[in-house]
Chain A
Amino acid sequence: MSALTEPAVAPGAPTRVPTSRRVAKGPRESPLSQIGAMTVMLVFTLYFLIPIWWLFIAGTKSSSQFTNTNPLWFADFNLFENIGDLVVYRDGVFLKWMLNSAVYAGAGALLATLFAAMCGYALAKYRFPGREFLFNIVLGGVLVPATALALPLFLLFSQVSLTNTFWAVFLPSLVSPFGVYLTRIFAAASVPDELIEAARLDGAGEVRTFFTVSVKLMFPALVTVFLFQFVAIWNNFFLPLIMLRDETLFPVTLGLYAWNSQVNQIPELRGYVLIGALLSIIPLIILFLLLQRFWRSGLGAGSVK
């Protein structure tokens, strides 16, 4: 640790070695406060991870062992049997739900990111009348929660007979005001005007410049917008709840919710809900791990403003 920090600090105080050492190690980091800090973090690590550990353990158990074995430790390892049972239950409707969620969130977030980035970029890099007005409306949109829109959207979609369709959930998720806000800040800070000017001199059109040059510079922000929109759609509950009746259109959250509310009538569903919940959180965790290098820097850009 100190080997890592010392070179970074040294340029700040190149002549006085003792000072740089003192800055690197710090004057008052007593072992006691280090132990205190570690204790706090370790206790909360348990708080955050035990529920997920419990879910994992529950997923590995047969239904008979679920209640009469240690809830936090393995019994017979039935994970793969449980998954097998889940995916064939009711003609594999669970897999359909996972696929639906992947399409709603994956394709939805991809398009939402593209549209938001184009708009944010234009707001940052071009001057045109109504620019500030547009940005203020979008900012207002950030403060309007998606759940407040669910009912009006339902009323509108039922006017045009689009409720209980794929589009009823997919289309509204293409809008990300927060994405416009973030990409505007990020584009203003990280896409130099000189570079756009240079691309113009090289004969590239505006649109081509955006897709070949600017998008690369905005990449961390784009990943952030994508991830946040992905999570927002993946977690969205009210909109599908109110729009969808047809079980085969459900995203996985709504499907598991529906099963969970039937547990009292159909007890076997309890096992499926648990193993389904476990499987449903894996894609997001993988996505976060894969993309964390990018979204962390993008996140910083959004909050500093």
Chain B
Amino acid sequence: MSASATSAVGTRIGSVPQPPRRPRKVRVAHPQAIAFFIVPFAVLFTLFYLIPIAYAVYQSLLVIEREGTFGKATEVFGGLTQYILVFQNGPFWESIARVLAFGVVQVPVMLGLALIFALLLDSPLLRGKRFFRLAFFVPYAVPGVIAAIMWGFLYSPNLSPFTALTSNVSFLSADLVLWAIANVVTWVYVGYNMLIIYSALLAIPTEIYEAARLDGAGQLRIAWSIKIPLIMPAIVLTGIFSIIGTLQLLAEPQVFRSFSSAVTSTFTPNLMVYSTSSIPNVNLAAAFSVVLALATFVLSFSFLKFTQRKEAK
């Protein structure tokens, strides 16, 4: 305190406009308030995000050793043993390939539809926008499990209202069930993504369009050349959430197991985690979890970087 007072006096004498402050000792204003605001979240985040992740990594490094076939089991450090098992596990990689194929088709279809609907809602071409906005969003209120149960009935040949279709096309067969699930996911989330993109469109000031309109640009041209570039951040956001969702598929395929024998206990990576942990082999399941979380993170992150670079061009 006294040091800063003397320096202030000193600078006044030397008539330097900016008094040299004490170097690098930042005094934080309102430390108690900051602590009060931050600590609850920080504690919960540590307990239910950071520690579980660390614990999963730790568990994945252990192996169970038994004395003889039925002897006492002890957990010992096994290094990367579990990860070697993960990489040798055929069904796990098949499940990853399955959700990637799913994502490559479903995510662009879903986001493409969401974008088209959002642009139509934002254009002067439609009437009854309020109604469409709500009608398209209603499926988002249906939890994945419930949506899957409902569509499971709709796909079943003897219960479906579309018997003409379902008696000819077997949606629950091994060939189609993945795409039947893709339809359920699309049905639930199109409206949600549409609203995110639509909100971004609403945030664009309308004056931007006027010059283009005066030059005679139509709706399509305005959408393509002005609107879409401006709402890229929102599209990227929906893209990342969709990638995360795809790799984490669990509820829908789990429900479909009661409708279709084509959905096995290793159908998606998360189903694999679940069935491995209930065998139980928690160490291997932990290793699956870690690999899956890493894959999700890397994929979302590189998608983000990739689209950012494209934007920068």
Contacts and interface: CB of A to CB of B under 8 A. Distances in A.
Q: Do A and B come from one complex?
A: yes
Contacts of A205: 33
Contacts of A26: 124, 213, 219
A118 B35 CA distance: 10
A16 to B, nearest CB: 11
B210 A256 contact: no
Contacts of B296: 143-145, 148
A237 B254 CA distance: 10
A115 to B, nearest CB: 4
B158 A67 contact: yes
Interface stretch (B11-19, B79-87, B189-197): B189-197
Contacts of A128: 28, 31, 34
Interface string A147-177: 1110111111000000000000001101101
Nearest to B121: A41
Contacts of A149: 48-49, 52-53
Contact of A51 (B116, B154, B231, B297): B154
Interface stretch (A74-82, A87-95, A281-289): A281-289
B250 A151 contact: no
B149 interface: yes
Given A151-B56, A263-B258, A264-B258, A285 B274 contact: no
Contact of B199 (A33, A118, A299): A299
A123 B237 CA distance: 21
Contact of B214 (A19, A28, A241): A19
B1 interface: no
Contacts of A210: 33, 37
A300 B135 contact: no
Contacts of B49: 141, 144, 149, 175, 177
Contacts of A50: 161
B305 to A, nearest CB: 13
Q: Say what secondary structure dominates the interface of chain A.
A: helix
A161 B113 CA distance: 46
A107 interface: no
B120 interface: yes
A13 B211 CA distance: 12
Interface stretch (B64-72, B88-96, B103-111, B138-146): B138-146
A18 to B, nearest CB: 12
Interface string A1-33: 100010001001100000100110111110001
Interface string B13-46: 0000000000000101111111011101110110
B28 A48 contact: no
A144 B213 contact: no
Nearest to A237: B251
A54 interface: yes
B145 A155 contact: no
A218 interface: no
Given A128-B34, A147-B250, A155-B56, A281 B142 contact: yes
Interface centre among A48, A180, A300, A303, by most chain B C-beta atoms within 10 angstroms, is A303
A66 B154 CA distance: 13
Contacts of B140: 231, 288
A13 B41 CA distance: 50
Contact of A237 (B145, B207, B213): B145
B196 A48 contact: no
B46 to A, nearest CB: 9
A175 B203 contact: no
Nearest to A50: B161
B202 A288 contact: no
A152 B145 contact: no
Nearest to B183: A47
Interface in B220-278: 231, 233-234, 237, 240, 244-245, 247-248, 250-251, 254-255, 257-258, 270, 273-274, 277
A122 interface: yes
A72 interface: yes
A152 B207 contact: no
Contacts of A177: 45, 49
A103 interface: no
A237 B52 contact: no
Between B134, B145, B158, the greatest number of chain A beta carbons within 10 A of the residue's beta carbon is seen for B145
B124 to A, nearest CB: 5
Which of A145, A274, A288, A289 has the largest count of B CB atoms less than 10 A from its CB? Answer: A145
B132 A235 contact: no
B200 A153 contact: no
B143 A235 contact: yes
B117 interface: yes
Nearest to A280: B146
Q: Which of B59, B142, B297 has the most CB of A within 10 A?
A: B142
A27 B60 CA distance: 64
A201 interface: no
A199 B39 CA distance: 23
Interface stretch (B2-10, B172-180, B285-293): B285-293
Interface of B: 26, 28-34, 36-38, 40-42, 44-45, 47-53, 55-56, 59, 113, 116-117, 120, 123-127, 132, 134-146, 149-154, 158-161, 187, 190-191, 195-197, 199-200, 202-203, 206-207, 210, 213-214, 216, 218-219, 231, 233-234, 237, 240, 244-245, 247-248, 250-251, 254-255, 257-258, 270, 273-274, 277, 282, 285-286, 289, 292-293, 296-297, 300-301
13 contacts: A23-B214, A36-B125, A37-B125, A45-B135, A126-B29, A149-B49, A175-B45, A205-B33, A237-B143, A257-B149, A260-B258, A281-B146, A304-B200
Given A156-B55, A177-B45, 7 more contacts: A12-B207, A40-B116, A44-B117, A67-B158, A115-B44, A144-B53, A303-B197
